[in-house]
Amino acid sequence: MTTGLNVTIVDGVAEGVLQRPEGGLWLDAAQRALILGLIEAPPAGLCAVLLRSAEHAFFGHADGGPDVPRADDSAAPSLRRLCEAVAASAVPVVLLLDGPVTGAMAELALAAQARLASPGARIGFGAARLGRISDAGSTQRLPHLVGVEQALRLLIEARSIPAPEALAIGLLDRVFDLSPGPDLCRAALAWARSDLAGLVRRSALSDGRSALRAVSEARARAVAGSVASALVDCVEAALLLPPAQGHAYEAVRASERASLPETAALVHLLEAERAAQRLPEALHMVRPEPVARPALVGASPVMAALALMMLARGLPVTILEPDRARLVPMLQIIAARQETAVQAGALSAAQRDADWARLRPVSDPAALAQADLLIIGPDAVPPSPRGQVPRLVMGRAALTDGAARLVVSGRIAELGLPQPFPAQTAATLFGFLRRIGQIVVLTGAQSPLGISGRLAGAGGAALRSLMAMGVAPDDLRAALLGFGLASPAVPTAEHAAPAPRDMPADEIVQRWLGALANEGARLLASGLARSAGDIDLVAVHGLGLPAASGGPLHMADQRGVMILRRDLKRWGEEAEVWQPVPALDALVSVGRGVAASIRRE
């Protein structure tokens, strides 16, 4: 099945089995053309087309997230053209959905005359996660299927919903109580032959007054200029405009969103996250050992955060800390965060109690005898090495055999593997960190500070330099808050304040970002960071830069590396933190962006 579409016709129904192109995504230009050819020139006597996946899934990425823009999106026939043809087809088109269904395939499903599914199917419209609107018709077709309120919820929240929920709201026409396989395919074909003819479709927009009320309420909640606001406008167009004009309006708004810097930044971050999550080639064929009994050695706030992550995934957690003065504050942090989650409705009281029952503080290293993973906290005294138990070491403790460096900041887990390192152990560590919800960034060198510590240090140095120049701490904090940093860490002044200096908020932010980008170039040149995307991931998901910025190196690329270097040279006359690193000079000399690979110094 190398063509991407294998068609078999039996009793008037064409079963089209879709095969994803090797290394590609669903519905590339070639596959779009094959489906369009079947729809627009159907064989004589054809009464229905059933499209299904050869892979029991219709998603392009392991995270089930949205499609990112790709080179052949504009190639003919476009996804919009294909969906229009499917929706207008004289021969009804039915999709059998199995597993995750996202991106282009979810758009095609909306255009079909009917949607069937297995119990394990999930369908989602994730474009809003990237600040985008699809121009393939989802904002126009979805309201007619499920109503305005549900359509806006699915489009704005951009999350996938399971098949039973999709059936309940009218997004699916039938969910078969069958496992993926031949029986499911036969049931879908039988439905297309017999039940499709009796399917009566009524628009869910029959109550115009309620629909407009839902639009008005959603608009009141949406931030002006946001993707949510644009989605509300598009759904309103589905209510008020003829179909052709509604689709044209959607296409215009989609084009507007696609051109925004925010959209490019969000796409960059998602691509960086997916690149970071790809296992090194040496680990592709290695099966990780499951971690069932992790243990934390040492008590601290970061260890409390790790304990909460593990408890949330149902793992038992042993904490070795003989010093009660250190242990009690850590347990208080865990209890307080769980209580906050209960009050917010994110955690039930019963689940909190069950989590707490799996938490076991101990003071004797002998209690770790059954642990299958040790995480050594900052400043903790590591227990004597025991067998082949994998170890993650935080802080400056020396790495023993089988140990790797771990730096945690926010959603980021920086994993430093000494070379050589056992592939089996590496796969186990990757798998565990992902299981507890972390984005794993593999670092190319050992550093107790990691990428996050180095970036935070550079940012702090820039702020201290600005204060030494007379910029008020309150002005620094206000500028960073205005930029979108939720909790700016403005350092305490080290010396008596000089004469006050007024500085525009934009310049404060640019100087701070310039210091981060300069340090990022240094990290790339040294080999600690493997890519600019990794640095931007750490900056956003670890240090709290707004996602819409894309991170300091993405922003530097958008402004231009020559402009960055010019600014750094000027600012570098006032403080060392802004003196441009040699790697930037090399980039300027060859006309490359910061995101390009940098030759190591």
205 φ/ψ angles, rounded to the nearest 5 degrees = -105, 25
Residue 520 CB contacts under 8 Å (≥ 6 apart), including other chains: 455, 529, 532, 535, 552, 553, 556, 594
User: How is 188-256 classified by DSSP, letter by letter?
Assistant: HHHHHHHTGGG-----TT--HHHHHHHHHHHHHHSPTTSHHHHHHHHHHHHHHS-HHHHHHHHHHHHHH
User: How is 558-600 classified by DSSP, letter by letter?
Assistant: HH-HHHHHHHHHHHHTT-GGGSPPHHHHHHHHHT--TTS----
For residue 601, the model assigns a pLDDT of: 38
Q: Are 124 and 161 within 8 A, CB to CB? A: yes
CA 226/CA 257 separation, integer angstroms: 9
497 inside domain: no
114 inside domain: yes
292 φ/ψ angles, rounded to the nearest 5 degrees = -115, -20
Query: What DSSP character marks residue 385?
Result: P
CA 488/CA 544 separation, integer angstroms: 9
Q: Which amino acid, one-letter code, is at 162?
A: P
State pLDDT tens for residues 215-267: 999 999 999 999 999 999 999 999 999 999 999 999 999 999 999 999 999 99
Overall number of domains in the chain: 1
For residue 288, the model assigns a pLDDT of: 87
Residue 484 CA from chain centroid, whole number: 19
Question: CB count, 10 Å around CB of 289?
Answer: 17
Question: CB count, 10 Å around CB of 201?
Answer: 11
For residue 201, the model assigns a pLDDT of: 78
The CA–CA distances, whole Å, from 3 to 25, 94, 185, 309, 515 equal: 14, 20, 21, 44, 51
Low-confidence ranges of the chain (pLDDT < 70): 1-3, 23-24, 57, 59-64, 385-386, 445, 494-496, 588-601
Domain ranges, residue 125: 5-261
For residue 350, the model assigns a pLDDT of: 95
For residue 481, the model assigns a pLDDT of: 96
579 inside domain: no
Q: In 3-state terms, what secondary structure has residue 52?
A: strand
Q: Which two tokens stand for residue 547?
A: 């996602």
For residue 71, the model assigns a pLDDT of: 80
Residue 231 CB contacts under 8 Å (≥ 6 apart), including other chains: 128, 133, 139, 152, 155, 156, 222
CA 204/CA 154 separation, integer angstroms: 15
Q: Which two tokens stand for residue 176?
A: 């078969």
567 inside domain: no
CA 48/CA 51 separation, integer angstroms: 10
Percent of residues, the chain, with pLDDT higher than 90: 69
CATH code assigned at 22: 3.90.226.10
Q: Given the structure tokens 């996804």, which residue do they identify?
A: 79
For residue 124, the model assigns a pLDDT of: 93
For residue 62, the model assigns a pLDDT of: 61
Whole-model pTM? 0.89
State pLDDT tens for residues 29-60: 889 999 999 999 988 889 999 999 888 767 66
**Nearest Cα to Cα of residue 482 among 455, 507, 452:** 507
Q: Are 257 and 263 within 8 A, CB to CB? A: yes
428 inside domain: no
- Helices within 288-387 (DSSP H only): 301-312, 324-343, 349-357
For residue 1, the model assigns a pLDDT of: 41
373 inside domain: no
For residue 59, the model assigns a pLDDT of: 66
219 inside domain: yes
State pLDDT tens for residues 53-63: 888 767 666 66
Q: In 3-state terms, what secondary structure has residue 541?
A: helix
Q: Which amino acid, one-letter code, is at 362?
A: V
214 inside domain: yes
CA 51/CA 14 separation, integer angstroms: 8
Q: Which amino acid, one-letter code, is at 497?
A: A
For residue 597, the model assigns a pLDDT of: 55
